Structure 1
């Protein structure tokens, strides 16, 4: 299957997973325009998957449904998504002709955030980013850490398909936390080169994230040490390591 990142807004990605007949599952269409443009070039939307209620992830759906009224939409069970759609919860299958996904509940960025995993791809919205993770607008640190641990347990060759192009800024923060990490140094150089060419830095194999993303490495000595130096004391547990790491990132300017 062909995977395409359709740029939207300033830094969003709408994902399209397309079969050999040109039919595609569309993930988080915050804008209709990029999908309509792709359709004009031969792509046929077959379904829409939504990860959470934020407008930059769902805003284009009404216009797409006006164009394709029978298009099935799958979304978390959250009344803040005011659409007629199929509500899905943790563990639910999403089965379509040619596609099969499992729904994972990954609260933290929002309380009802979900992800879809299937065909070797993880569509994780704003839960996990390359070299980073989402802000905790609604969830708690224990929730977010548990969600990231769950995603980290997927097969290492899973391709992480996140909702934003944040990798360059995330790399700068990750280097502050883990400056001697050789894999991270290589990833930062790769990302710099890709962005100079205006290329997307995702999808990225989960294996790469496990080696470089500080939010997936909160048990690693280098990350724990950096957080404890910032705290000025020993961290109580992994949750505190994660919570302080997220606070640090919230105030970080690249």
Structure 2
């Protein structure tokens, strides 16, 4: 488990399954503790016992089992309120507070902004808490989620909205896919010096068995091939005459078979 300081909260990062991350967000000014995408309840229980905190809420980004399997047991143990997209009411286990994409709400001292993140699934949302983005399977280190339900156009719209966040925003995604994504990125953007520097740094980080996450919006805009279509010069060099959506679609399609 790793812990990161923010002004009004702590983020505890718990590795789970083969490559998942569960996040426990502890409000510094109240007893509220948010669990984001709990893949395994037992890992959350053990971490919270170690930290001497008690989960009060679960925030789900989408319905996939490796983000929701811990819901039932955490509700049974702690009586957690389960927050999720109203559009996913029938697919998120034990959902008890529904919100609509784009809606904001408060828990304790924390102001939470939800954003529509359709693409990986229909109904996927992300949560922004101050300078932290909890984005599930939407934006990864040097990549983005596969399109299981949404379209390329929907995912591109989502990625543009996330890229518009402040560049210092920390990205807490749900999987450690960074090195594999960087290998692919090198095949489509190999002349990018910032990408080359990231490959060296993140490889060293993983060799030390440390997470490459959190990342930042700024880093992803400069090194993530799924966001490089935001750069007109990159698009012109990659495939002259193609729109940013067409460039993104081509890159995401290539990643599917990499």
Q: Deviations over 1:18-70 (max 9, x none)?
A: 2346742110001112101112211321211100000000011101111012x
Gaps of 5+ in 2: 1-8
Contact 2:54 2:78 in 1 (8 A): no
Which of 39, 61, 74 in structure 1 is aligned with 2:83?
74
The root-mean-square deviation of aligned C-alpha atoms, in Å, is 1.5
2:36 matches 1:24 = no
Q: TM-score if structure 1 supplies the norm length?
A: 0.92
Q: Within 5 Å, give how 1:125-164 maps onto structure 2.
A: 125-164=136-175
Moved more, 4-13 or 77-86: 77-86
* Matching residue of 2:64: 54
Distance in 1, Cα, partners of 2:105 & 2:194: 35
Q: TM-score if structure 2 supplies the norm length?
A: 0.90
Gaps of 5+ in 1: 229-233
2:19 matches 1:11 = yes
Q: Deviations over 1:146-177 (max 9, x none)?
A: 00000000111110010100001011111111
Q: Within 5 Å, give how 1:202-213 maps onto structure 2.
A: 202-213=213-224
Distance in 2, Cα, partners of 1:14 & 1:94: 21
Contact 2:32 2:107 in 1 (8 A): no
| Residues 219 and 84 of structure 1: CA distance in aligned 2, closer, same or farther (over 3 Å) | closer
| Residues 204 and 22 of structure 1: CA distance in aligned 2, closer, same or farther (over 3 Å) | farther
Q: Deviations over 1:51-100 (max 9, x none)?
A: 0000000011101111012x111111212113232111122112111211
Which of 223, 235, 252 in structure 2 is aligned with 1:246?
252
Distance in 2, Cα, partners of 1:67 & 1:152: 38
Q: Within 5 Å, give how 1:82-161 maps onto structure 2.
A: 82-161=93-172
* Matching residue of 1:173: 184
* Matching residue of 1:231: none
2:69 matches 1:63 = no
Which of 42, 45, 48 in structure 2 is aligned with 1:39?
48
Alignment: residue pair count: 245
Distance in 2, Cα, partners of 1:115 & 1:8: 20
